[in-house]
């Protein structure tokens, strides 16, 4: 699929980089003239995906997170967030609301939030090799 613009970032799975990733995507998406609501939804979905990498993919240390954004034809923002961490043993179970492996301080709503805020959402994971979250958001054209 052809794209109009893109960016790729790679950063360590430090908690400080969650806000960096969220802000970078928001700045990139700004060229599409999103509404504040659309921008908030995108920021939240990215935040959830990156936080999952930080908390779950690399539980015993730091690893790398790759973030790719593209602007596709039809005013669609395409986002892929990948890690090379521990992967997800049971993806079906992990996608259920309220399920978490992150302890009692985690809500288990990350995938549910991402899916509800984006136009499309897929996740692929291989135990021992990592996880890839692919999200798209079609933005309204404003005049």
Quick one: pLDDT at residue 116?
81
* Domain presence at residue 119: yes
* Domain presence at residue 143: no
* DSSP-derived 3-state class of residue 46: helix
Quick one: pLDDT at residue 115?
79
**Is the Cα dihedral 130, 97, 48, 54 positive or negative?**
negative
Which CATH number belongs to the domain containing residue 75 in this structure? 3.30.565.10
Dist. CA 35–CA 56, nearest whole Å = 31
* Domain presence at residue 63: yes
> What's the pLDDT tens digit per position in 66-89?
999 999 999 999 999 999 999 987
Tokens of 68: 């790719």
Q: Annotated catalytic sites, by residue?
A: 48, 52, 106
Dihedral pair phi/psi, residue 105, rounded to 5°: -80, -5
Q: Which residues pair with 138 in a beta bridge?
A: 76
Dist. CA 67–CA 61, nearest whole Å = 19
Average pLDDT of span 109-136: 88
CA distances from 36 to 1, 19, 32 (A): 27, 17, 12
> What's the pLDDT tens digit per position in 31-66?
999 999 999 999 999 998 999 899 889 988 999 999
* Domain presence at residue 121: yes
Our count of domains for the chain comes to: 1
Quick one: pLDDT at residue 143?
62
Dist. CA 30–CA 15, nearest whole Å = 24
* Domain presence at residue 81: yes
């Amino acid at each position: 699929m052809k794209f109009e613009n893109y960016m790729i970032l790679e950063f360590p799975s430090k908690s400080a980089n969650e806000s960096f990733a969220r802000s970078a995507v928001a700045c990139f998406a700004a060229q599409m003239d999103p509404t504040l609501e659309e921008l908030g939804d995108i920021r939240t979905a990215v935040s959830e995906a990156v936080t999952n990498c930080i908390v779950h993919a690399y539980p015993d240390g730091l690893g790398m997170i790759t973030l790719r954004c593209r602007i596709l034809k039809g005013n669609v923002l395409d986002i892929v967030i990948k890690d090379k961490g521990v992967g997800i043993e049971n993806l079906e179970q992990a996608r259920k609301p309220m399920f978490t492996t992150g302890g009692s301080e985690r809500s288990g709503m990350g995938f549910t939030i991402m899916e509800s805020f984006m136009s499309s959402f897929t996740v692929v994971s291989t135990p021992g090799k990592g996880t890839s979250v692919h999200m798209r958001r079609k933005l309204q054209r404003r005049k």
